[in-house]
A and B are shown apart, each in its own frame.
Chain A
Amino acid sequence: MARLEYQASLDSLESDLQEQGEVVLRAVRGAINALETQDVELCDEVIAFDDEIDERYHRIERSIGQLLAQQAPVASDLRLVLAVLHSSIHLERIGDQSVTVAKLTKLSAALEQHTELVEGLCEMGARAAEMVRRSLDAFADRDVAGARELVDLDELIDRTNRAVVDKVLAMSAPGMQEWGMRMIVVARCIERIGDNAVDIGEQTEYLVTGEFHEFSDASH
């Protein structure tokens, strides 16, 4: 094996991505937990934690800049570098969605709530977190089949998202409207987390096969 330093940089880049993934998962779970328990302090923690996620993304971006400039990666190394960069951006966005969920939870804390709907959102959030977990594992294991299974999980989240909208529209109590509108956005954020996990799955397929395909079309 030649180019030991180079290989060490690539290995380190990939472990940085997995670490960013762990940090982002803490944010997702924290946001959902705060929604479930209406814990405003936890919301603040999730919001503040976003700087850590952003810093990890920028660190990965800087490492990639150096690798491209100094090592000129090609073939599977190039694909790894590109896939890590894209996945890191997707993770950073998942962090942003978690922040939005936390902010909306805070804003809605004083409002009357629909318990059943909150439970549905939390279940949706748990599924989204599971998808992020699986997308990171599929990337690490170069598991294209596992990455493609994310589409089926995403479909469940999409369905719940549509059901949340229907439920909010059916709410007749006047005081529930503001809360309901905010929860539509929360559902949308969780739905986007699922989409981002699928995006990471697509990067896994690109990394392994060299071909990039959207797993599902835009109409999905």
Chain B
Amino acid sequence: MDTLLLSRIQFAANISFHILFPTITIALGWVLLFFKLRFNATRDPKWMEAYGFWVKVFALSFALGVVSGITMSFQFGTNWPGFMETVGNVAGPLLAYEVLTAFFLEAAFLGIMLFGAARVPGWLHTLATFLVAFGTTLSAFWILVLNSWMHTPQGHELRDGIVHATDWMQIIFNPSMPYRLTHMLVASGLTVAFLIAGISAYRRLRGDRSASVAATLRFGLVLAAVLIPVQVLVGDLHGLNTLKHQPAKIAAMEGNWDTGGPRPLILFAWPDEEKRENLLEIGIPHGASLILTHSMDGSVPGLNDYVAADGTVLHPPVAPVFFAFRIMIGVAVLMMLVSWTGVALMRRRRAGVEGLPVSFLHVTVAMTFAGWIATLAGWYTTEIGRQPWLVTGLLSTQAAVADVPAPMVLGTLLAYLAVYLALILAYVGVLFYLARKAADGKPLRMMPASPAAQVAITAAE
């Protein structure tokens, strides 16, 4: 394999591993703030117990997100020097604003949020929780601004092959940013909703009947049920935006070779780039036309429009985009079925979580990390869909790669993969271990009723 492909795989591995954890911390920060505010309002200890459990998950996820994020900031230089040399005038300030406004905010208040509850007044602890949640979201904002600009660049001009910023408002509010940002924030919400529902269901299956677990199980399912239709709507708008600005990506997502209409919504096919056709195609007639143009016979862009006269392919690799998109949609459908069934079961005879049968709890546990799969599949769709460009129309991926010897890249890639695999296994293992410990052992340390009980609160782990 050559340096370009290895460097791409290495960056893909890093960014895939990294995004798993911000996807959790962005929304979990706000969920923790919600738990804390519920506690402040009701003084019901179950909310503090929920906070106490989930703040540990937050701390663990945050640490993994931080260290994998540091890796990426270095890889721009070690593997992709052409990126900063060409578009550094735009990418640089955006990354700098992320570090300055978001990273330090999160990092400084995380200590107070995790360990400071006993050292600072209650309001300051609530404020720290808010600032950490705000910081993670702000960080998502800046990085998605940059990523969206790479998809739909504007507000710049080229001087001697180097990009220079001309209008920062245009750069920040580039056409795909609002859609991509919203799509990602809702994805984070869904990921956390299923994570909380799944772990809580697991604790109930282990016989944990505490009020706190009942509350978080219900919270997770309701949050998912509310967010999934929002995500469908946002995803549709995002798709229409992509159709307008990156039609080649849409063509790959739909597996459509020739421009025209009507086009079916393809449920399954094997896109063959050699023959330039789909094998084993199963589709719903008029479906793609209807979704993309909101008319039965609307024209859908085709991949063959993006092949230069000399045969150079200017559209993304079709199969990965096509399948990643379908995996994302498939998981979304599962999410809708599970969360709506759960809410319906809880509403039936107003039974609440008692109305959830064991079989449903098992399904919910199986869905614990569904958000990860959908998020990764979605990112693969959009990022592979941008190829062969690193920055659409401005910089090809090939032009940005470093001239590092291929065996060296292979060596570091294997080391990263080994570490990442071990860490994902450890992470998932520890999450379920914490859940078992909480479910089996004594109830988690509660908010004490009397000052005398406070001494007993000290963590025993």
Partners in one complex: no
A contacts, CB < 8 Å to B: none
